[in-house]
Amino acid sequence: MFTVITLRPDTDCRFSTNFYHGTWHILGDWRGARLLGRLLWGLAYQRRPGTLVLIDRPHIDPNPFDGRPGDPIVLVPSDLTALSGGAARALRRQLPLRTAPEGTVRWQTHGLDPVVAQRIPWDERPPGLPRPLPVIPTGAPRPRIDRVGGLLMFAASAPDLRDYAPGVHELGCHAHRGMDYTELEYPDGEVQVFNDYRHRVSAARAARRELRAEGVTTHGQDFDELVWDRGTDVRRRALRPIAAARA
């Protein structure tokens, strides 16, 4: 029996997922990173066994690279909740959830803001201060990110959820060329955000439609690579009128 916490339907945040270069990615934008960081932080303080957070439609997009459908995301406090493959498949079969919620949760994250405020930005760190190594937990169950039963699951103990939450929450503050990322269970997972995430998702969708309308019959990875390239072209085309107006 699980207590499944979901986002309100009108929550204006969207995410996607993909598996690339041996790494699972949770994808989104700056706003999504703020929400995800607070979800991780608040989850670290839950006390009811069987609790998990589910992010599903309408908050899951196709991924912004090749337009393949993103997986629903589950965040699991591993010292309270065990999500087996069978349980994950059973939950996946019920998605999207259509039953009325049993109540509303007031998500408390008061302690997160002071921790984030104390973090030293990379460009302000004293010379010679080493970059922190990825979190390698001892004693508690090791964090895990993997696709389980059709869901992308990130499971971690309460201390590790608190360790990861500030870095996720501040994504975008020190972006390079509109992109930022942080490890989520190094080296198996990342959260990666883009300032134009929604535009990229729209372009990937348009690229798939264009290629199919042109009669392209390639399938699998070869087709995905074509979508990736066409999506870049779609974004460039969308920028040309703006550039012409400025000229």
What share of the chain has pLDDT > 70, as a percent? 89
pLDDT tens digits, one per residue of 162-210: 999 999 999 998 888 999 999 998 889 999 999 999 999 999 999 999 9
CA distance 236 to 92: 37
Q: Is the pLDDT of residue 243 over 70?
A: no
With cut-offs at 50, 70 and 90, classify the pLDDT of residue 3: very high
The tokens describing 122, both together, are: 């990379």
pLDDT for 200 equals 97
The whole-model pTM stands at 0.90
| Range of 116-120, 134-138, 157-161, 241-245 with top mean pLDDT | 157-161
Give, in degrees to the nearest 5, the angle at Cα 172 between 169 and 175.
140
- Pick among 3.40.50.1980, 3.10.310.10, 3.30.70.100, 3.30.1360.230: CATH of 3-195: 3.30.1360.230
Q: Which helix (H) or strand (E) holds 180?
A: strand 179-183
pLDDT for 99 equals 84
With cut-offs at 50, 70 and 90, classify the pLDDT of residue 238: confident
pLDDT tens digits, one per residue of 82-102: 999 999 999 999 999 988 888
pLDDT for 131 equals 47
Q: Is the pLDDT of residue 239 over 50?
A: yes
Domain boundaries, the chain: 3-195, 199-246
The tokens describing 31, both together, are: 């706003």
Return the SS3 of 191. Answer: strand
Handedness of CA 235, 65, 143, 45 (dihedral sign): positive
Q: Is the pLDDT of residue 9 over 50?
A: yes
Among residues 219, 182, 141, 150, the alpha carbon closest in space to that of 37 is found at 182
99 φ/ψ angles, rounded to the nearest 5 degrees? -75, 150
Q: Is the pLDDT of residue 120 over 80?
A: no
Return the SS3 of 163. Answer: helix
Handedness of CA 199, 202, 208, 210 (dihedral sign): negative
Residues in contact with 83: Cβ distance below 8 Å, sequence separation at least 6, in sequence order: 2, 52, 74, 76, 91, 148, 153, 155
pLDDT for 20 equals 93
Q: Annotate 37-49 with DSSP letters as a single string.
A: HHHHHHHTT--ST
Cα maximum dimension of the chain = 61
CA distance 62 to 75: 19
pLDDT for 102 equals 84
Number of helical (H) and strand (E) elements in the chain, helices listed first: 6, 9
